[in-house]
């Protein structure tokens, strides 16, 4: 689906700036084009494609991911979306899946601003499971300060250089200019957490292959943890436990995923609720452990959970999390603060969880360009 908003061509050329946010996930490519004029942010275009629609020599298995596809195939998918949506912008920000990124937190003794970068790299060697020369390291100061008596707390993100090279090759083949390449969690934070939100917020993104859970405090990433249970796992296990004929089960698995749940009759939906409670239990435990560790260190409680990813298209999963954690629960709505035509508001709200990363990356790109 694509959107074209009419603008004055003269004013657009003089005063507006457009930027692409591109989210290449394990199951799909999502692209959002945002336009900024002064302080006003507008949706210019958006589009996506399921990677399973690409023709490859590799059999189409449910576990197939981006790694199966060549850079030519990914570039072709991006160009197909850009062409169908008539997006002409070439400056872009790419997100990198969080399971391809190493996150770690550590504390350092008091030191000067000049001493800190070298100290961060030295300490990072002890936490990152790859040779430091094989990764690109980025870091944020999240506690303490320079030339102060207390310890300094740092969050570090490290991306393997081979992953960066792969994305650069994709952009080159898709005829795009990369202005920003970073972990998708930073895009999610930009899209879903208001700049003035000072309370601790948990972002939970259930992707096709994995789930990423992150804690954001004062718009800074404090913790991020991923585990190998995503929507494909939930879909497959759920279908296997339901009274479906093999042919019908395979049709649901391939064409509907979890979106089939709302169409089941009440009796089966009650059974689905019970099955989901069992399937989500390991995810609950992982999230609860992170909450407990954060509570121990900061003495703070998480004020809100925000969900993104296609799994939260069904109410049953949101309700399960709400009942378990007894806290405010929201479904991602990244378009809420972006101007768009009223007639597509309902559709944007429905697809918001799947486009959150792409929206956030486009916003980060515009901010970077401004600076």
Strand partners, 307: 204, 331
Higher pLDDT, 256 or 18: 18
SS3 of 190, please? helix
Report phi then psi at 261, rounded to 5. -55, -50
Q: Structurally, what CATH architecture does the domain formed by 9-101+159-370 represent?
A: 2-Layer Sandwich (3.30)
Reported as a pLDDT band with limits 50, 70 and 90, residue 361 is very high
Higher pLDDT, 112 or 371: 112
What pTM value is reported for the model?
Answer: 0.86
User: CATH number of the domain at 102-158, please?
Assistant: 3.30.1490.300
Give the domain ranges of the chain.
9-101+159-370, 102-158
SS3 of 118, please? helix
> Alpha carbon of 30 to those of 100, 175, 176: distances in Å?
18, 17, 15
Say if residue 167's pLDDT is above 80. yes
> Do the beta carbons of residue 307 and residue 321 sit within 8 Å?
yes
Question: What is the bridge-based pairing of β-strands 135-143 and 328-331?
Answer: unpaired
* pLDDT tens per residue, range 184-214: 889 999 999 998 888 999 999 888 888 889 9
pLDDT (average), residues 242-269: 79
CB < 8 Å & 24+ apart, contacts of 335-344: 335/43, 335/359, 337/41, 338/34, 338/41, 338/42, 338/43, 339/40, 339/41, 339/42, 339/43, 340/3, 340/5, 340/42, 340/43, 341/3, 341/5, 344/3
């Amino acid at each position: 689906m694509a959107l074209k908003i009419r603008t004055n061509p003269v004013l657009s050329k003089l005063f507006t700036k457009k930027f692409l946010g591109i989210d290449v996930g394990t199951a799909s490519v999502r692209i959002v084009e945002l336009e900024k004029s002064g302080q006003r942010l507008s949706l210019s275009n958006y589009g996506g494609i399921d990677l399973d629609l690409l023709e490859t020599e590799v059999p189409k298995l449910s576990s197939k991911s981006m790694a199966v596809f060549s850079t030519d195939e990914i570039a072709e998918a991006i160009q197909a979306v850009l062409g169908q949506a008539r997006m002409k912008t070439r400056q872009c920000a790419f997100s990198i899946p969080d399971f391809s990124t190493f996150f770690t937190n550590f504390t350092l003794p008091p030191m000067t601003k000049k001493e800190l970068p070298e100290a961060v790299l030295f300490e990072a060697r002890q936490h990152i499971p790859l040779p430091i020369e094989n990764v690109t390291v980025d870091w944020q100061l999240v506690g303490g300060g320079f030339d102060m008596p207390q310890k300094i707390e740092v969050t570090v993100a490290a991306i393997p250089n081979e992953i960066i090279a792969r994305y650069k090759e994709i952009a080159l083949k898709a005829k795009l200019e990369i202005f920003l390449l970073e972990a998708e969690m930073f895009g999610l934070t930009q899209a879903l957490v208001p700049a003035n939100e000072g309370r601790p917020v948990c972002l939970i993104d259930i992707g096709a292959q994995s789930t990423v859970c992150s804690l954001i405090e004062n718009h800074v990433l404090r913790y991020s943890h991923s585990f190998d249970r995503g929507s494909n796992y939930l879909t497959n296990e759920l279908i296997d436990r339901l009274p479906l004929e093999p042919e019908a089960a395979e049709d649901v698995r391939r064409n509907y995923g979890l979106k089939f749940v709302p169409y089941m009759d009440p009796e089966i939906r009650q059974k689905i609720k019970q099955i989901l409670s069992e399937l989500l239990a390991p995810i609950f435990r992982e999230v609860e452990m992170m909450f407990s560790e954060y509570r121990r260190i900061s003495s703070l409680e998480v004020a809100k959970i925000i969900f993104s990813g296609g799994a939260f298209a069904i109410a049953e999963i949101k309700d399960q999390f709400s009942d378990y954690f007894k806290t405010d629960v929201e479904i991602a709505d990244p378009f809420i603060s972006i101007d768009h035509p009223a007639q597509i508001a309902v559709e944007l709200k429905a697809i918001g969880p799947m486009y959150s990363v792409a929206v956030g990356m486009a916003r980060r790109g515009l901010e970077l360009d401004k600076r």
